[in-house]
Each structure stands twice: as structure tokens, then as C-alpha cells.
Structure 1
Amino acid sequence: MAAVLLLLLLSGSSVDGLQEASRGCRRWVVATTPGRLGDVCCVECHPGNRLVSDCGPDPRDLCTPCEGKTFTQNPNDYKCSRCTQCEGAQVLLRRCTATTDTRCGCKDGLACGDERCTFCREKCGPGEEPSDNRSCRPCANGTFNDQIHQKCKPRRSKCPGPDQMIVASGDAFADNKCVNVSRSILKKPESHPTKSAWPLALSAFLCVCLLALCIFLFITLCRMKRKKKKKEKIIKPPIIRTATDDPRTLIAIECSFDEAQEEQGGGGGGGGSSDSLTSKESSRDQLVA
């Protein structure tokens, strides 16, 4: 042992412990501070050992193994951590050792709530994801999940390959579907100036024709209304009566005619004059009537 310490003093380098490979300090260096000459300082304990003292004369006394139901994964910890206990819906998958903690799982139909599986929760299937209240919720619009108990991911907006294109939209259970296509299909055809101009010219021509037709119909309708108003304004001609249509004129003419007959008859008998008067009165009554 004295030879080993002498070698360390000469070299000043660290060496591995030669005895008790699973106990004590694994790597150490010679102390160089005043008052520590002849001591060694531990750099790293053996796995499953905790640090007792930084420096000392014997490296085996600088570290000690963890007690039962405790473990450590840090070679420079001064204390060991208590092993986790599987409780409730948890099941034991691996027992605790001096270097590893207990590994717990969950019963069928449940899943671990975190990476260390400190609690169990409802297992979420495809199309849903775990929520903060330890239940499952459907994937939001635009996201999907095709695995068991995983978070939903956004659906891709473009395909990964240059010769691919999206041919089908995904849903809550699957991503957008991409397929390989030919470059000639992906390449947009070049538009010719003439081909792109004739639809515009045709549209302008149809608009002009429609406008002319509307103007023609409007003018025709206005003319028809004017003709109708002219016909309604025509006044019927007045009835013109002649002088002979007046009864008084007819009576005067008849009277003068009778007087002429009397003068020609010269008073030839009273019977003739009475007959003449009778016929005159009857004709007068007819005219008056």
C-alpha cells in the first residue's frame, strides 16, 4: 500500500481502486493542499455507493453502498434516494436496486401519466389525446393521432417529396395522403396570350348585344304607349242637323203648302176646307209627336 501511495505522489494522477471494485471510491486523486499530504480525494464512487467524505487516507472509506430500499445514480451524491413504491392501479415491472429506481407500470386499459409513471390514467386511442384532467379528448381540427396514448400532431400542408402531391385530406386518425406523380402533371401549362384574351372579347361582345337588345325593347315599349294615348284622345265627330230636321220648320212648310191649295181651290165648298183642316191637324200632331 505504501508503494502505491508513493507512486501516486510521484505521478500525481488518478488510478482505479485495486480492491473492492464494487465498494468505496472508484476513481481518486492525490491531495495537493497543505495539511492533506498523503491523503486521496475521491472523484467518483462505485455505482450504488454514496459519498461519505471527499478526501482521506483510504479510498475505500470515502464511499459506502446505499442501504436497503434506496438507490443513487449520481456518483457524487452524499445520500441515496428512497425507492418508489407501486400503488393503486400501478403494477411492478422492475424491482429497485442500488443503482436504479423501481419501475412501475399500469393495469390493462390504463397508461402512465408521466415519464416516471408516478400515476395511471385512462388510455387514449387513435384520434384522441390525453388531457390535463387525466382523461382523453378528440384531436382538434387540423390535427391527427394514429397511435395509442399519444398527443395529436398537425396534419402536413405539403408533401415531403418534390414529385408528390396531396390527393386526399386526412382526419383525426390519419394525416393528409401524398402520392408520387409525374413532373409533367405537376408542371403548369403555359398560357398563350391569344387563348387568354378571346374569352374576355367574347364576354364584351355579349354585353354589348344585351345592352342593345334592352334599348330596343325600351324604345318599342315607349312607342306602343304613345300610340295608345293618341287613340284615346280622338274625339267623335258631332251630329249635324239640317234645317229640315227641325219640326217647327216642317210645320211652317206644311202650312204654306195648305194655304196655296186653298187659294187654288177658291173656296169650293165647306167640305173641302174642313177636310183640309182635319188633315192639317193630324199631320201637325204627327210632327209634334
Structure 2
Amino acid sequence: CWELGDAVRCFDKQYEHKGRCCNRCQPGEKLVSECNGTEESVCARCESGHYQQSWTKERHCAPHDLCEDNAGLIVKTPGNATHNTVCQCRAGMHCSDTSCQTCVENQPCQRGFGFVAAKAAARMSSPCEPCAEGTFSNISSKTEPCHPWTSCEEKGLVLKARGTNTSDVICESGKRSSLSVLIPITAAVVTCLVGICIYCLVRTEAGRSGEDWEPRQPTEVEEVPVQETLLGGQPVAQEDGKESRISEQEKL
């Protein structure tokens, strides 16, 4: 410290006492007695369950906060001589206000929404947020966040179906994927070859049938000789073997 006229000015880690600059106690300690003309300040460690987080001239350390179970609180970070205890809400609960002295039950996050724990302490309503692209939530939960889609490449697989905000991606083996493409192509080629073979066989059979076929000759009709007879002096054609009624009439 230094003196300027009648005023005493001390450094940041000192304080003025009876015209002298005494040292402050370091974090984690409390002041027992001030300095005097022969001795420096006397400090002592904070007792259990108490803390002091800055350079001080205080004779008492502050007690740690208690995380009350009936308020829905649990210990997040235990306190020590230099830091206070940090409390947080139990799983499935969030802070009722910004001071987070008490907790209230979360409302379940629906499918496609995830619980954001980092925002639970600062919100007075259930911190559910829609799952971003590349993440999903397929259950209704008070504690589950959105989970990232599975990486098919990291597992040596290929993507079969994209994920959504409520479902993960579907992966499959690369070999199986190749077969799923190869099998239909092979089937199509075989079908074409079979069709061509059938067509060729039909054409061949049709050609052979054309060579064996001969046009049928018309059947000759045997002419039956006829006899002529006279009827009233006029010739009348009459088949052999039949009696002529006309002749009988002439005989009469």
C-alpha cells in the first residue's frame, strides 16, 4: 500500500484497517484477526459445509446450499471450500422459476419432440423442442432428447430408407442391395431370351408346315350317260337304268 497525504490506498487484495493495509484472506478461508504493527492478517480454512469464493476480510464463510429432496432438487456439483453446491431438478422435472429453488413435473415430449436439459433450468414450462433434421424421437418422454440418425456408412452398410423426426434411418448390407438390383435385371434378360427362342421355334414350325402342304386337286365327277327319248317328237334326256314313263305313255 502507499500513502497519499493523509489517505491510505491499498492494493486489490488488501484492505485498510486503522491506517494500515492488511492482507485479505484468500478464497476458501475466513479472517481470524486483522494485521497490526507486528503481525499480518490471520486467516483460517472454512469449516465443512461452508465456502468463500473470493478474497475477503469476512470472519465467516457462507454455508452451502441444500438441495431439498421435497423440492425436487438433487446435487449436481458438490460444494467445497471455494464453491457453493450446485443443485438441479430430478429427471422428469424442471425449475419452477429462474432461481430454481423448487422444481415442477415436466409435460411429456411427444414423438418428434425431444427434451432439452440445458434449457430446463431457465424455463418455467416443459422444454420440449422439435427434433431437428438428422435427429428423431420415437417415444413420448419427459427426459429423452432427440437422438441422431444412425450412420449407415460407419457400420459398413448402405442407406435403404431415410429417417424422419419420429424414426431412424434403415440400413442394409451393400451386397444385398446389389443383388436386389441384379436379380430383376437378370430375370428381365432371361425372359427376353425365352421369348426370342419361342418366337424362333414358332417361325421354324410354320416354315416346315408350308413345305409339306400341297394344294388338293379337285375331285372329278363321273358323268352319268343319259339316254334320249322322244316326247312328242322332242328328245328328252334320261338316265340309264331308269324306265321312261314317257315311253310307256307312247306305247299306250
- Tell me, yes or no, whether TM beats 0.5: no
More helix by share: 1
Greater gyration radius? 1
* TM-score normalized by the length of structure 1: 0.31
More strand by share: 2
Q: Which has the higher contact order (CA 8 A, sep 6+)?
A: 2
